[in-house]
Amino acid sequence: MTERLRFAHQFNPVIAYGDAIGNDCLELQRMFWSSGVRSELFAWEAKPEVRALVRDYHDLETIHRRDGLLLVHHSMGNDAVPEVANLPVRKAIVYHNITPSSYFAGLNDELTRYADVGREQLKLLAKSAEFGIADSEYNRKELEEAGLANTAVVPPLVDWEDFDRPPDQDVARRLADERTSILAVGQILPHKAVHDVVAAFAKYRESDRTAHLYLVGPTAMSAGYVDRVRGDIRKLGLDGAVTLTGSVTVEQLVAYYRGATAFLTLSEHEGFCVPLLEAMRSDLPVVANAAAAIPETLGDGGILIEDRSPEAVASQLERVVRDQTLRKELIEKGRRRVEAFSRGHIAERLKLALAQGGWDLPDARSKHVVVLSSDQRCGIHHYSLAVTDGLRDRGHQVTFVGVKHLDTADLYRKLKFISTKSDAVLIEHEAGIFRDVPFVRALISLWRKRLPVILSLHELEPEKFHHYRRLSAALHYNPRYRLPLEILRMPWVALRMANWFLRYRLILMFMGAIPRKLVVHSTRSERWLQLLTPDQDKRERFPLMIMPLENTVLPRTTEEKRKLRARFGLPTDKFIFISPGFFFARKRYKEVIEALPDDAVLVLSGTRSDWEPRYFDEVNSRAKTKTNVVVNTEYNTMGEYVAASDAVVLFYEDVFQSAVVTQAVWAGLPCIFSEAEGFAPYHAAGPVARSSDELAKAMREIQKPETYAKYARGVRILRRLLSPERNAERYLAGIE
């Protein structure tokens, strides 16, 4: 008998983008969401580019349910592992192998220590886990040796959608100019046997004098080993013929794979070796050492060698470079081998592995979903449409229902068109769209129809509720009469307060009780979720997804961007900052103007707020004293002004979450943030300025090409990871 899997959370000590294990976590999460299973990522450390999707591992202490699993990824020792092992939640190990410490002895004391610690912690996890999943048969046997009897093999998931992007043009041109390019991918560490690769290449180059070797991989943990590799390069006379690239972007990695002639790995220890899949999928013939899990991963998709001598390796490289018949055969076999690791095949392996552990993973299916929100041109309307498109992209049948703001009759009229056959109703809620009491009546109406409701609250705090504001005002009412009359007046005020308090609490109670799931998009709103329900299992926080700018087509080339600027009368040769949105004092536009460098331009693109009209006038007056500040108040062109700019400045005093950030990321623009908590998930997209002086410095620094490139890469990653097509199904996870 198997038990229905309700949640499958994951823990990995360090989660980073581009790391094979981190990517496996992210892809498994998406697979669980598509099956309707909730899945959160927890880590001891989350790198900035994935921080929006990862929670602190201490939050695992709040999980008390027994109808799901915590998947503990293990590949190196970490101080947090014992805490996680002792948690009462049911657990399974996902084992990616631990490189033996002997490879790091005398090179990196920290790696040596944590490799040994990791082996001991594997035994500790084996005692607390119900079963284990390994990404190769080689690793599965190590799980058994650690004391875990129930084990299965599920290869790692690779995000090929991310891999299918245009290659870096500079790298592509460089490789196109070379006759032979040999590629090796992986960290520059002893167990990767990079020194043997260099020696074998030196031998091969005796018969191919123009050949070039690219060693693609980070050196942050290499310590003295990278010096040894560089020394070997010099001794063998390979200066100028070998390139150590260090860490590269995905676009650069794709260019290396697509432009190289052959792939070579002589690694002595691999638990799986994802670069083999990447090479085969890139139609790159492979020569590989037949060690550890490499034969299992490569299969017949490349040439496996037992003899790692320079002469033997060089001989095989000559074959795959020069024998066109062999190259064609290896490429075809490599394509077939990669197919064995497709998403569909791995999904089936995962389902079988979980069943072996006693869990039933539901099949993914298309659902009928209604998205209910604003029908007017505003941030939440466009966000709701992005969510709708994301769900449709994943194969769901979605109907968008827009309602007029604060129009009760329109809300009730639209509810009649919601089919009782819908699988879920997703409500994107904001205080300015729905009146409190009519909204609760709408929830009750959906409950009577037995429709599961997901309530997504974009701004949650007491002040957003009408009756709370009445209650708060009554508490601070001003005396109008003499003392005797005021004493008589107090009971009347108290009765009115009781009425408003009762209404306020009933509204919160129904908003918390009726929906199957409550979603917020900021830590600030999350803190107020307890107002609605004490049920932790109904509550979920995840960041806003990326949404496009309205009526905006992004310029594809530098020339198109110049033309767009010229149309608005903006300089074509200067760096342009933009701060978009309503003119609120909390956005500190006056401080942004003061911090603006003289050699740059600032566009303030937004409209006057009815709440703070005087602030608009103050900013306008200050802007008129600067020749490099432009104020745009035309709503229809706001998106195009963003597209014409280089960076977005968000020096807000406070913010729940920011739709402007998601639009900036969609437009590919780095941002400069204040330290407001709501911006924290997006810090990979730009620097944080904690004062006006730091803002001025950041506005100067981000204009430097190397700084801009760093944050532009972070923007590209966030645009990918937070896209609606990747994340919209998260709303439906846990809804039956």
Give residue-wise pLDDT tens across range 75-131: 999 999 999 999 999 999 999 999 999 999 998 899 999 999 999 999 999 999 999
Q: Which H helix or E strand runs over 200? A: helix 194-204
Q: What is the CA radius of gyration of the chain?
A: 29
pLDDT at 603 over 90: yes
| Fold of the CATH domain 161-343 | Rossmann fold (3.40.50)
More confident residue, 282 or 379: 282
pLDDT above 70 coverage of the chain, percent: 100
pLDDT of the residue at 474:
82
Q: How far is CA 424 from CA 102, 285, 455, in A?
A: 54, 48, 11
Q: What is the pLDDT of residues 382-397, one digit of tens each?
A: 999 999 999 999 999 9
Structure confidence at residue 73 (pLDDT): 98
| Residue 247 pLDDT level (bands cut at 50, 70, 90) | very high
Break the chain into its structural domains and give their ranges.
3-157, 161-343, 368-541, 558-726
Q: What average pLDDT score do residues 469-496 get?
A: 82
Two domains, one topology: 368-541 and 558-726: yes
Q: What is the pLDDT of residue 594?
A: 96
547-576: pLDDT as tens digits: 999 889 999 999 999 999 999 999 999 999
Burial of 465 (0-12, 13-18, 19+ CB in 10 A): buried
| Per-residue model confidence (pLDDT) at position 580 | 92
Q: Which residues pair with 400 in a beta bridge?
A: 371
Residue 478 has what pLDDT? 77
* pLDDT tier at 494, thresholds 50, 70, 90: confident
Token pair of 356 as six digits: 């072996």
Is residue 476 very low, low, confident or very high in pLDDT (cuts 50, 70, 90)? confident
pLDDT of residue 162: 83
pLDDT range class, residue 610, cuts 50, 70, 90? confident
Average pLDDT of span 248-270: 96
Residue 488: pLDDT band with limits 50, 70, 90 = confident
pLDDT in tens, 382-435: 999 999 999 999 999 999 999 999 999 999 999 998 999 999 999 999 988 999
DSSP SS3 for 374: strand
pLDDT tops 80 at residue 479 = no
Indicate whether this model's pTM tops 0.85.
Answer: yes
- Return the DSSP state at 556: S
Has residue 485 got a pLDDT over 90?
A: no
Cα-Cα end-to-end distance for the chain: 21
For Cα atoms 355, 356, 361, give the angle at the middle one, nearest 5 degrees: 15
CA dist list (Å): 560 to 550, 563, 565, 567, 630: 19, 5, 9, 11, 21
Predicted pLDDT at 487: 81
**Mean predicted lDDT score pLDDT of the chain:** 95
Q: Report the relative pairing of strands 242-246 and 517-520 from DSSP bridges.
A: unpaired
Query: Looking at the predicted structure, is the pLDDT value of residue 736 above 80?
Result: no
* CA distances (Å), origin 476, targets 312, 328, 491, 494, 497: 88, 82, 15, 12, 11
In this model, does residue 378 exceed pLDDT 90?
no
**For residues 96 and 75, what is the distance between their CA atoms, to the nearest angstrom?**
5
pLDDT at 297: 98
Q: Are 717 and 16 in contact (CB under 8 A)?
A: no
Q: For residue 377, what pLDDT is reported? A: 86
Strand partners, 605: 580, 632
Q: Which CATH architecture has domain 368-541?
A: 3-Layer(aba) Sandwich (3.40)
β-strand partners of 517: 454
- Inter-residue contact 577 to 596 (CB < 8 Å): yes
Report which residue type is found at 103.
Answer: Y
Q: How far apart are CA 532 and CA 514, in angstroms?
A: 10
What CATH class does 3-157 carry? Answer: alpha beta
Q: Positive or negative, the Cα torsion across 389, 395, 399, 405?
A: negative
**For the residues 196-219, what does the mean pLDDT come to?**
97
Q: Is the pLDDT of residue 608 over 90?
A: no
Class of domain 558-726: alpha beta
Average pLDDT of the segment spanning 697-724: 96
Q: Tell me how many degrees the CA angle 402-408-412 measures, rounded to the nearest 5.
A: 65
Residue 557: Cβ-neighbour burial (10 angstroms; 0-12, 13-18, 19+) = exposed
pLDDT at 675: 95
Band of residue 482 on the pLDDT scale cut at 50, 70, 90? confident
Q: Confidence class of residue 599 from pLDDT cuts 50, 70 and 90?
A: very high
Q: What is the pLDDT of residue 475?
A: 82
**pLDDT above 90 for 437:** yes
8 Å CB contact between 278 and 257: yes
**How many whole angstroms separate alpha carbon 714 and alpha carbon 405?**
36
pLDDT (0 to 100) of residue 431: 87
Provide the pLDDT for residue 525. 93
**What whole-number distance in Å separates Cα of residue 234 and Cα of residue 254?**
28
CA angle 568, 574, 578 (to 5 degrees): 60
CA 500, CA 513: separation in Å to the nearest integer? Answer: 20
- CA angle at 368 for the pair 517 and 533, rounded to the nearest 5°: 10
